[in-house]
Structure 1
């Protein structure tokens, strides 16, 4: 499936950007708690997508992709929270992060919906 390769690529690049944001939050702003939450969920998206590649069945694949989708939504929550509390005010890549997480959510939603219909 074409979206699966795209989502693997996008989620990996996104995880790298999340790591950069984590460094910024940690070292520049001395913000540790929210940054750690963001790091966990933001890097977990791609990890679950990667794990899905070794799924033993379509149902197993769907389960892993569903977890990735939930992690993506959690990541959006942390990004919004950081932004609304002004931690991202001067972060150079803020717009990219929001655009990318929304794109990732949309792709994962499409994959999960399609697979849900197939598994039924």
Structure 2
């Protein structure tokens, strides 16, 4: 299935995995980055589950989970940016996460209207 939302979430997860690898080499505490890795990779996993869900309600529920995981990822990225523990283009990651968040909100709204 060709889904722009799924593609964006896969791009986001890929970028976060690459960020995680770079950060891990800095030998700094990775607690926050591990939280980010979990939430960011969960976004696309739940979108994928939504696409193949059992019902409209299941579809909407999985998209809501993805929205929550996206919001959590934005929180961790913002925290990492503010702490300045690692030099990175956080604005690019935050922009992609925000785009996914807007797409999810729109998809949830549309799905609820078409119930």
TM-score w.r.t. structure 2 length?
Answer: 0.92
Q: After superposition, where does 1:7-26 map in structure 2 within 5 Å?
A: 7-26=5-24
Tell me the equivalent position of 2:111: 115
Give the drift of 1:94.
2.1
1:64-114 alpha-carbon deviations (Å, 9 max, x no partner)? 0110011000000000011111134x21x3221011001000000111122
Q: Which residue of 2 aligns with 1:28?
A: 26
Shift of 1:29: 4.5
- Among 76, 85, 88, the alignment partner of 1:87 is 85
RMSD of the TM alignment (CA)? 1.4
Q: Which residue of 2 aligns with 1:41?
A: 39
Q: CA deviation at 1:25?
A: 1.9
Structure 2 counterpart of 1:106: 102
Q: Distance in 2 between matches of 1:20 and 1:31?
A: 17
Structure 2, unmatched stretches of 5+, are none
- TM superposition shift of 1:53: 1.6
Q: Where does structure 1 lack aligned partners over 5 or more consecutive residues?
A: none
SS at match of 1:87: coil
Segments ≥4 residues shifted beyond 2 Å: 116-119
TM (norm. structure 1) is 0.88
